[in-house]
Chains A and B, each alone.
Chain A
């Protein structure tokens, strides 16, 4: 009975994090973007600096009619948002925020593989949406999504493998346990490649060619309205949380901090994740969108060689220090 309660509590906490953190990132994006562009952003909803703007948006989305185009493949069209969103919930279960068994939803032996595998499944949702909408812009969006996934999955996997080599384990808590401060310069190239490839997999600007709103409207999500569209948006922001959390855990030492505050490990994890999320927003405001061929070239001619070099470096250093 106690075990069941424990499991239920963990699931509940992960679920609450899954529902609230994306909203916090979304609101931060509103405000940070606004201030970077010399405006105020939402100011009215909720009173204090428009804190309730996204709640209001959610209510608006829920009220809208859920339209399925006449020519669409109904079942797949309706299933797609769930396929896009649920994998991120599963991934969140495996990310540790503090030391010990108590600070992770579920300890998974092959954590890195689980996380990357399940994140890859989420892209199927965009593909299903793109095809089932029976709309040429959606189809183009789906095609670009697939091409982008195939290009950026490889550097992401290779850099994750580099960290696993360094730590000698593929379990996420095990990697953070093995972390030393000098891993930071050692794995910095891998960290950057992982983060950039993750951004591309999430289709965040400047890698948002698959959804490019000014040319193919919104790619795979063109035909979506109301709650289903909101689910796709939620998937994007949950993806930001997952990517930043993973980068923190794999490359930035998770709960390790400059001052060895034992009880406050989770604060470090959240702080690093928040800073990375800010960087994600910052990049969106700063860089123009890459063209499709530039996207592909960037991955295959820059990120893949860099990640291979990082693996070689990791291997050499690992052999030398043993």
Chain B
């Protein structure tokens, strides 16, 4: 095993390398099924298999911390959110015939192109870097934390500010929509500021229904 680690030969793979390949195949297969299956909820569940397979790959590369965070964030939260959305839209049992798009070939092209770019970048950047799977864990919590807060503090903080901005944006958007639906129609235009992007089709429909109710300047609330 140590000999293989020294020479990095592809012809005498270690047990970990074989496991890595097999799990990789399973993950790849699950990913394919995720995008090709016509059953919406099955696609989400296959996504669980894909993300879980990725976590196992991290584990095999001794990156324990990243692996558990992968499970926590992606399987525990993102997929639950996905399933929540699917259930809200009443995803049917069985196949959805319209769960396909005409952009299949464009999507495939983009996917293959981005995969090729990623593989090229990773291979080019890490050509001579090898993870020593037999030594001390290179991805333990301590190692990850030290490199994150010593070498990568600036990107980390920038990302957190980005996420905070997204959070504030989401809250602002949801509050605006709530104020729209909750306020009486008289001052709905005042709240929205008359911006054309705000969905007040409700008011326009009323105007069209009562075309003789006056000029354009008449408040729709008055018509109602």
Chain B interface size range = 20 to 34
Whether A120 pairs with B76 at a CB distance below 8 angstroms is yes
Does residue A11 face the partner (Cβ distance < 8 Å to B)? no
Which of A110, A123, A132 touches B68 (beta carbons < 8 Å)? A110
How many angstroms from the CA of A118 to the CA of B211 in the assembled complex? 61
- Complex interface bits, A59-97 against B, C-beta within 8 A gives 1, otherwise 0: 000000000000111001000000000000000000000
Which of B71, B83, B141 touches A127 (beta carbons < 8 Å)? B83
Q: Give the size of the chain A interface in residues (CB under 8 angstroms).
A: 33
Q: Which residues of B contact A278 (CB under 8 A)?
A: none
Residue of A nearest to B137 (CB): A109
Does residue A130 face the partner (Cβ distance < 8 Å to B)? yes
Which of A76, A114, A143, A150 touches B77 (beta carbons < 8 Å)? A150
Whether A153 pairs with B65 at a CB distance below 8 angstroms is no
Does residue B148 face the partner (Cβ distance < 8 Å to A)? no
How many angstroms from the CA of A142 to the CA of B82 in the assembled complex? 13
- Complex interface bits, B42-76 against A, C-beta within 8 A gives 1, otherwise 0: 10010010000000000000001100110110011
The interface stretch among B84-92, B104-112, B190-198, B213-221 is: B84-92
Whether B137 pairs with A131 at a CB distance below 8 angstroms is no
Chain B contact residues: helix, strand, loop or mixed: helix
Does residue A189 face the partner (Cβ distance < 8 Å to B)? no
How many angstroms from the CA of A109 to the CA of B48 in the assembled complex? 24
Residue of A nearest to B85 (CB): A146
Q: Which residues of A contact B137 (CB under 8 A)?
A: 109
How many angstroms from the CA of A170 to the CA of B69 in the assembled complex? 12
Does residue A217 face the partner (Cβ distance < 8 Å to B)? no
Known: A120-B77, A127-B80, A150-B80. A110 touches B141 (CB 8 A): yes
Whether B84 pairs with A143 at a CB distance below 8 angstroms is yes
Which of A116, A146, A153 touches B84 (beta carbons < 8 Å)? A146
Whether B83 pairs with A113 at a CB distance below 8 angstroms is no
Q: Which residues of B contact A131 (CB under 8 A)?
A: 41, 83, 86-87, 91
Chain A contact residues: helix, strand, loop or mixed: helix
Whether A109 pairs with B64 at a CB distance below 8 angstroms is yes
How many angstroms from the CA of A134 to the CA of B92 in the assembled complex? 8
Q: Which residues of A contact B187 (CB under 8 A)?
A: none
Which of A117, A139, A157, A170 touches B141 (beta carbons < 8 Å)? A170
Whether A118 pairs with B87 at a CB distance below 8 angstroms is no
Whether B141 pairs with A124 at a CB distance below 8 angstroms is no
Q: How far is the CB of A141 from chain B (nearest CB, A)?
A: 10
Which of B71, B87, B94, B141 touches A109 (beta carbons < 8 Å)? B141
Residue of B nearest to A164 (CB): B141
How many angstroms from the CA of A244 to the CA of B77 in the assembled complex? 23
Known: A71-B93, A110-B64, A114-B68. A124 touches B140 (CB 8 A): no
Does residue A121 face the partner (Cβ distance < 8 Å to B)? yes
Does residue A149 face the partner (Cβ distance < 8 Å to B)? yes
How many angstroms from the CA of A130 to the CA of B141 in the assembled complex? 36
Does residue B79 face the partner (Cβ distance < 8 Å to A)? yes
Does residue A56 face the partner (Cβ distance < 8 Å to B)? no
Q: Which residues of A contact B76 (CB under 8 A)?
A: 116-117, 120-121, 123, 149, 153
Does residue B81 face the partner (Cβ distance < 8 Å to A)? yes
How many angstroms from the CA of A146 to the CA of B90 in the assembled complex? 14
Whether B93 pairs with A121 at a CB distance below 8 angstroms is no
Q: How far is the CB of B49 from chain A (nearest CB, A)?
A: 11
- Complex interface bits, B140-156 against A, C-beta within 8 A gives 1, otherwise 0: 11000000000000000
Q: Which residues of B contact A123 (CB under 8 A)?
A: 76, 80
How many angstroms from the CA of A71 to the CA of B93 in the assembled complex? 8
Which of A109, A143, A147, A150 touches B65 (beta carbons < 8 Å)? A109
Known: A72-B93, A110-B64, A110-B141. A124 touches B72 (CB 8 A): no
Known: A72-B93, A124-B79. A143 touches B69 (CB 8 A): no
Q: How far is the CB of A158 from chain B (nearest CB, A)?
A: 13
Residue of B nearest to A77 (CB): B93
Q: Which residues of B contact A146 (CB under 8 A)?
A: 80-81, 83-84, 87
Whether B45 pairs with A76 at a CB distance below 8 angstroms is yes
How many angstroms from the CA of A262 to the CA of B161 in the assembled complex? 48
Whether B48 pairs with A124 at a CB distance below 8 angstroms is yes
Does residue A128 face the partner (Cβ distance < 8 Å to B)? yes
Q: How far is the CB of A295 from chain B (nearest CB, A)?
A: 15
Q: Which residues of B contact A132 (CB under 8 A)?
A: 41, 93
A residues with CB within 8 A of B: 71-73, 76, 108-110, 113-114, 116-118, 120-121, 123-124, 127-128, 130-132, 134, 139, 142-143, 146-147, 149-150, 153, 157, 170-171
7 other A-B residue contacts (CB within 8 Å) besides A132-B93, A147-B84, A150-B81: A109-B64, A116-B76, A117-B68, A120-B80, A142-B87, A146-B81, A150-B77
> Which 9 A-B pairs give the minimum distances between C-beta atoms?
A120-B76, A117-B72, A113-B68, A117-B71, A146-B84, A110-B65, A110-B141, A117-B68, A114-B68
8 contacts between A and B (CB under 8 A): A71-B93, A72-B93, A117-B76, A121-B75, A127-B80, A131-B86, A150-B81, A153-B77
